[in-house]
Amino acid sequence: MKRVVITGIGPVTALGKDKDSFFASLLAGKSGINKIESFDVSRYSCQIASTIKDFDPVNYMDQKAAKRMDKFSQYAIAAAKTAIEDASLEINEDNQYQVGVIVGSGIGGLLTLENQHKVLLSKGPSRISPFLIP
């Protein structure tokens, strides 16, 4: 069995989008829970969530790639890029097959699913995005 070494972290959270701000918020006892502002929640009993504010995917990838991804995928790319930078890791031909990232999602891509379902109903199956099915 080979050893695994975690050399960098890349938190993308409501408490911070980098290691320093994330840990500072944790140590200060801050909460990442706020009122949901991204859509109307007046008809729901729960109106709070842990949301990531002021996230610009273009800080981590090009605009074209960002437009093709659901927000949870953008967060994963941002976290991976930040972790690589935190580790001061240079990926090259010699080590490219020895480097890996594990991403877990209980249910990601709901924004894409919802938006493409609307496209399906309004414009038909020929107009849905090829990125709908992961």
Q: Looking at 4-8, 62-66, 115-119, which range is the least confident one?
A: 4-8
Query: Of 46, 20, 48, 18, whose CA–CA distance to 32 is shortest?
Result: 48
Contact of 101 with 80, CB cutoff 8 Å: yes
Q: Is the pTM above the cut of 0.95?
A: no
pLDDT averaged over the chain?
91
- Tell me: pLDDT of 133 over 80: no
3-state helix, strand, coil in the chain (%, to 5): 35, 5, 55
Contact of 78 with 10, CB cutoff 8 Å: yes
- Tell me: pLDDT of 47 over 80: yes
Residue with tokens 């437009």: 67
